[in-house]
Amino acid sequence: MEQEIINKVKGAITHATHIDLNETPLHIGLEGDAIVIEGEVERVAHKKKALKAAMEVAGTMGIIDRLRVIPARHMGDEEIRKHIYDGLEEEAAINAGAIDVKVEGGVVDLEGTVHSLMEKRIAGLIAWWVPGVRDVINSLEVNPPEEDSDLEVAEAVRYALEKDRIVDHTSITVTVKDWVVTLRGTVIDEIEREAAEDDAWYIWGVDDVKNEIEVSH
């Protein structure tokens, strides 16, 4: 039974991400009733899609996420931490002093209290954009609490696209329904198309991203 569930998870991940698990070996096993996924993937989109696919497999009771994104370049933890703090301090909408940044093995944990969901999401985005980061755990609390909505998520995704120098945000439309982001438009190449999708996945609270952006020829 255990091996059957593991095989189903492998199949689901392959279908969702189009990753060849022979070329990108991921360790998939069971710890108690939970599925463990461990390894490295090239993009945050692959990580998020893999976890979502695994959670949807019948018989899984939970996911232990040890999946990491291969960093764009190697950085030590202190260098990563400094870059994140620099980015937070440059962002007028964020009180950087209220955020505690912990980094271990390229995995970032953001802790502290912020005043809005937008602030929480921007902080997570800034952390993800540091080239040496392998994962971001956004543990920031919002006080006073805010009611979240698709409009809040859409605003954050649009902000990410506007700030990303790789992406021409004017050529992309963003819609969000039930925490699922849909991106439409036309871009110049696959690099820009993938960057836009990753930007959407970087936003805390996004459940899925449908990338309907076309590449102009």
Q: What is the pLDDT of residues 31-50, one digit of tens each?
A: 888 899 999 999 999 999 99
Q: Rounded to an integer, what distance in angstroms lies between the CA atom of residue 42 and that of residue 209?
A: 17
pLDDT at residue 189, as a whole number? 96
- Provide φ and ψ at 66, rounded to 5°: -120, 25
* pLDDT band at residue 30 under the 50/70/90 scheme: confident
What the chain holds in terms of domains, given with CATH numbers, is 2-69 (3.30.1340.30), 77-142 (3.30.1340.30), 162-215 (3.30.1340.30)
What is the share, in percent, of the chain residues with pLDDT greater than 70? 99
Query: pLDDT for 104-145, tens place per residue?
Result: 999 999 999 999 999 999 999 999 999 999 999 999 999 999
- The answer to whether residues 209 and 181 touch, using CB atoms and an 8 Å cutoff, is yes
Task: Count CB atoms within 10 A of the CB of residue 126.
Answer: 27
How much is the average pLDDT of 19-42?
90
In the prediction, which pLDDT does 1 show? 64
Look at residues 34, 32, 37 and name the one whose alpha carbon lies nearest to residue 16.
Answer: 37
- The gap between the terminal CA atoms of the chain, to the nearest Å, is 48
Structure tokens at 125: 């985005």
Q: Are 70 and 43 in contact (CB under 8 A)?
A: no
- 208's enclosing H/E stretch is strand 208-215
pLDDT for 38: 96
pLDDT in tens, 180-200: 999 999 999 999 999 999 999
pLDDT at 154: 98
Tokens of 207: 């459940």
User: pLDDT band at 146, cuts 50/70/90?
Assistant: very high
